[in-house]
Amino acid sequence: MGDTVHEASGPYFAPAGGRPGLLGWITTTNHKRIGILYLSLIGTFFTAAVVLGVLMRIQMQSPGMRLMDARTYNVMFTLHGIIQIFLVVIPGIPTIFGNFALPMLIGSNDMAFPRLNLFSWYLFLAGALLAAVAVFTNGGAPDTGWTFYVPFSLKTTVNVPLATFAVFVLGMSSILTGINIVTTVHQLRAPGMTFFRMPLSVWGLYSTAWVQILATPIIGITMLLIVVERLFGIGVFDPTKGGDPLLYQHLFWIYSHPAVYIMILPAMGIISDIFPVFSRKNIFGYKMIAFSSLAIASVGSLVWGHHMYVSGQSDTADIVFSLLTFLVAVPSAIKVFNWIATMYKGSIRLDPPFLFALTFVVLFSVGGLTGLLLGALSSDVQLHDTYFVVGHFHYIIFGGFGFGLFAALHYWFPKMTGRMYSKRAAILGWLVTFVGFNAFYFPFLIMGWEGMPRRYYAYLPKFASLQGFSSVGSYVMVAGLAVIFVNLLVSARRGEKAPANPWGGATLEWTLPSPPPLESWEKAPTVVKGPYDFSGIEEGR
């Protein structure tokens, strides 16, 4: 234990006895450092995907715009989708905060499998590099959309096999992270940390990890089959050889719909942690929120057919999937009502993390309610493959995951860096992003309703004003994102020193210094109360 005392004295990111510099980072098995490794990669990928998105919005600025031709536009939305889905949103919160925060939240010094944890980061990096190589080699970047639908993905001459193999590798990384999180939660909780004393963010990550373990293998084999089909022509998805393209869609969505819950559940968990802290009040309906996470994870695995109402599946399947889709809205609504009830008679402080959390609820509700229109059989026939779907999806994923991630970043930033950011700049960034976001995506819902198909690089003149407005909204949103990121990056170096518990949180990570040492605890803490019991904790500044 003598070494531990020595190591514990410095912050986790200082080279304490270990290898200094970059080498010390890429050989680390420490959960906090691996979390930061993921953050740096995911931040880079997010920026790249935002740039692709803005290029598409410039193309759509006016009906006659010719920034790119149709094929380039196809490549743009494919890459934007692949990067955002597989490299940012799916890994996002489980890898960054599942690593950085989760062990501290349950009073453990590390994940259950530290070396496996580093290995899954390398798999993630390898998957990203493979995807990058696929863009530039062997026929060029894929133009299939991120869904790789057959038979087009079998016929197109571009580099689909390498891109789908990259998705397979990223899937393996995701599975290993899931296994690590489930095992950690079961085996490494501190004494007294019962399941119902776990912070709700841990419940969110835990439910997500199960989905990662149980759904990801299906996309793994599906992507491998695309590779095998392209290389050897086995025929299982090729209609000219008797294969059935609809089966591909089934296999694809058996994973990719649950993947939406991989994206949103951990964000919901973190939101459930933030609401009580900034309301100074215990969460309303702890068990309901915890179980609704599990309910979303299980029912959400049985709704994939709602992506295929117009693909030719049977009417019976349509009706069953539609019913299940409506059912999954129930646990989501439970969470929303519980968050709102948590604020009732609370002592509310509108600090940046809470502003992001509140907008999460607003935007997620818009996304959820528009989702019901898509889940209903009759209205989906009109709305399928229109901008309405794109708008709905971005309200859920950007409004939900994105704002959830920003909330988490602003919440744990003092813990991660040991410094405070400028609250005024953060609020400015939040406001501009929020306004730009709605100006950007709300017109999508209207245009989709009026019949604007998704994935077209040009459009009829009647959409000119809404498309133009939406493009301007996207520029505003990017300006807001820039304010947020510049504020965080500058503050990470120059911000004022953060206290151990800047927000007055009651979960275990706030009992550690900011930034925490490499080894959080010399002796495991004993937990005697729930995660939202604020008695005896000083209110944040």
Partner 1 sequence: MSERESAYDPDRGRIGMWLFICTEILIFGGLFLLYSVYRYKHSADFHAAALNLSRLDGTLNTMVLITSSLTAALGVHELRSGRPGRSRLYIACTLLLACVFLVVKAFEWGAKFEHGLYPGASHLLSLPPGQILYFGLYFTMTGLHAIHVIVGMGVFGFCLRSISKGSTSASRPVLIENATLFWHLVDIIWIFLFPLFYLIS
User: By the criterion CB under 8 A, which residues form the site for partner 1?
Assistant: 1, 3-4, 109-110, 112-113, 116, 175, 178-180, 182-183, 186-187, 213-214, 216-218, 220-222, 224-225, 228, 232-236, 241-244, 247, 251, 254, 519, 521-522, 524
Q: How far is the CB of 21 from partner 1 (least distance, A)?
A: 22
Decide whether 112 or 426 has the Cβ nearer to partner 1: 112
Decide whether 160 or 274 has the Cβ nearer to partner 1: 160
Q: How far is the CB of 188 from partner 1 (least distance, A)?
A: 8
Q: How far is the CB of 375 from partner 1 (least distance, A)?
A: 24
Decide whether 99 or 470 has the Cβ nearer to partner 1: 99
CA distance 8 to 512: 11
SS3 category, 20: coil
- Phi-psi label, residue 142: left if phi above 0, alpha if psi -120 to 50, beta otherwise: beta
Decide whether 493 or 523 has the Cβ nearer to partner 1: 523
Helix, strand and coil in the chain, % to nearest 5? 70, 0, 30
Decide whether 113 or 459 has the Cβ nearer to partner 1: 113
Q: How far is the CB of 79 from partner 1 (least distance, A)?
A: 26
Do 16 and 102 contact (CB within 8 A), yes or no?
no
Task: Work out the number of other CB atoms within 10 angstroms of the CB of residue 465.
Answer: 10
Do 174 and 217 contact (CB within 8 A), yes or no?
no
The DSSP-derived string for 471-514 is: HHHHHHHHHHHHHHHHHHHHHHHHSPBPPS-TT---SGGGGS-S
Strand partners, 517: 11
Task: Work out the number of other CB atoms within 10 angstroms of the CB of residue 230.
Answer: 18
SS3 category, 337: helix
Tokens of 481: 């994102």
Q: How far is the CB of 522 from partner 1 (least distance, A)?
A: 6
CA distance 541 to 524: 28
CA distance 49 to 81: 8
Decide whether 91 or 285 has the Cβ nearer to partner 1: 91
Q: How far is the CB of 154 from partner 1 (least distance, A)?
A: 13
CA distance 506 to 303: 37
Do 338 and 291 contact (CB within 8 A), yes or no?
no
Q: How far is the CB of 302 from partner 1 (least distance, A)?
A: 15
User: What b/e string do you get for 276-311 counting C-beta neighbours within 10 Å, with b at 16 or more?
Assistant: bbbbbbbbbbbebbbebbebbbbbbbbbbbbbbbee
End-to-end CA distance of the chain: 36
Q: How far is the CB of 233 from partner 1 (least distance, A)?
A: 5
Decide whether 2 or 64 has the Cβ nearer to partner 1: 2
Q: How far is the CB of 245 from partner 1 (least distance, A)?
A: 12
Decide whether 190 or 407 has the Cβ nearer to partner 1: 190
Q: How far is the CB of 243 from partner 1 (least distance, A)?
A: 7
Q: How far is the CB of 298 from partner 1 (least distance, A)?
A: 15
The DSSP-derived string for 145-180 is: TTTT-TTHHHH--S-HHHHHHHHHHHHHHHHHHHHH
- Phi-psi label, residue 81: left if phi above 0, alpha if psi -120 to 50, beta otherwise: alpha
Q: How far is the CB of 510 from partner 1 (least distance, A)?
A: 21
Strand partners, 386: 453
Decide whether 78 or 164 has the Cβ nearer to partner 1: 164
Do 539 and 37 contact (CB within 8 A), yes or no?
no
Decide whether 228 or 427 has the Cβ nearer to partner 1: 228
Backbone angles phi, psi at 535, to 5 degrees: -65, 130
CA distance 362 to 395: 9
Decide whether 112 or 466 has the Cβ nearer to partner 1: 112
Decide whether 83 or 172 has the Cβ nearer to partner 1: 172
